[in-house]
Structure 1
């Protein structure tokens, strides 16, 4: 019987930076990811909650359902790809998402991430975003990347600005009334910057059909 890596080669995608490795999350990773999830990471406010669960169990349920939803509803038109971020010793440091909500139509990607507290402030967030941007603009042929963060999230906005994103507009979050800053990075600016040259991408060719793409080098 074929293994999941054979029938679903997206799980073979791996990205390596100077200090961390990003591998596509599998079901086997969920326990470690949920244990590492910091209490201050805001999860989807629209996610289902369950009476009778303590806070940590409830947050773990949201994370698990988010994973299953991502792969259960995957299509080349709309996809969401979670990576587990680990250090050289295999310790889970965080999660990095890359999403293409209308990818076949507009070739635009979005991203989000979190890190454990002890890994913050060390430049790893920038490395993680750099890795998925190089995948998006390189192998996947994205034309632009967008990002957003509340004005109080200086770390996320700082990563975006340092990677060349430009502010476009603001909006207001309905559930909290916080101001959300939106930013955009064009493919031409990314390629001209050369920031992705140090990123090692592996396993992309076998996964391309799941993004509606073909390996032009084949």
Structure 2
């Protein structure tokens, strides 16, 4: 049977990757979902007096082109995905509605076996444990399916919500960095997680469509 010319998975295997948790569905970004995500970003991500991000992209929320910029950032990440370096931005959905983004990234994964994570949720979706659930999803993918040896993340010292997620999952301190944030010094706390220290969730992660993605992500064949 001839391949379906309308099937994007033939040339872009990430289009078929799906992660499922008890409440959420995570898929690598697509254009329709990105448009919905940009709308959600306009609804607000954090209080105006706070800045949880190293790159203060939300400061432009009231400017023309902000929503388009959210999409352009994701397009750049998508265009640069390859075995040497990748950043996969998963759109997080609950009941079909896009609520935020969960990123899983790596450099020379086949050699270093290390990933980093980052994420955000709309303010309306915060406070229900979804941040923990979506990070558990990509950590489960990294450790149990990709064979990662380490996972790293970072958060500013005053980003209590992100640091609590890291604590719940078993991360340990991995150093401190000083950055300028809105013209003032701020401490960025790095954290590190290993498969042995990871506090696994009680639920089982559902994963579909991973096989064709392995080569694109530079993932070694399963042992």
The TM-score, its normalising length taken from structure 2, stands at 0.85
Give the structure 2 partner of residue 212 of structure 1. Answer: 218
Among residues 24, 31, 39, which one is paired with 1:27 in the alignment? Answer: 31
Is the contact made by 1:208 and 1:214 (CA closer than 8 Å) also made in structure 2? yes
* Aligned pairs for 1:1-218 within 5 A: 1-37=5-41, 38-40=43-45, 45=55, 55-88=62-95, 90-176=96-182, 177-190=185-198, 193-195=199-201, 198-213=204-219, 215-216=221-222
Residues 59/196 of structure 1: CA separation in 2 closer, same or farther (3 Å cut): farther
Residue 44 of structure 1 deviates from its aligned partner by: 6.5
Task: Measure the CA separation in 1 of the matches of 2:12 and 2:148.
Answer: 22
Deviations 1:75-111 (A, max 9, x none): 11110001111112x1111111111134233111111
Is the contact made by 2:38 and 2:70 (CA closer than 8 Å) also made in structure 1? yes
Task: Measure the CA separation in 2 of the matches of 1:161 and 1:69.
Answer: 31
Aligned residues: 210
Is the contact made by 2:142 and 2:148 (CA closer than 8 Å) also made in structure 1? yes
The TM-score, its normalising length taken from structure 1, stands at 0.87
Partner SS state of residue 55, structure 1: coil
Task: Measure the CA separation in 1 of the matches of 2:132 and 2:119.
Answer: 10
Is the contact made by 1:140 and 1:211 (CA closer than 8 Å) also made in structure 2? no
Is the contact made by 1:77 and 1:105 (CA closer than 8 Å) also made in structure 2? no
Deviations 1:164-211 (A, max 9, x none): 000121111134421101100012223xx4437521111111211111
Unaligned runs of 5+ in 1: none
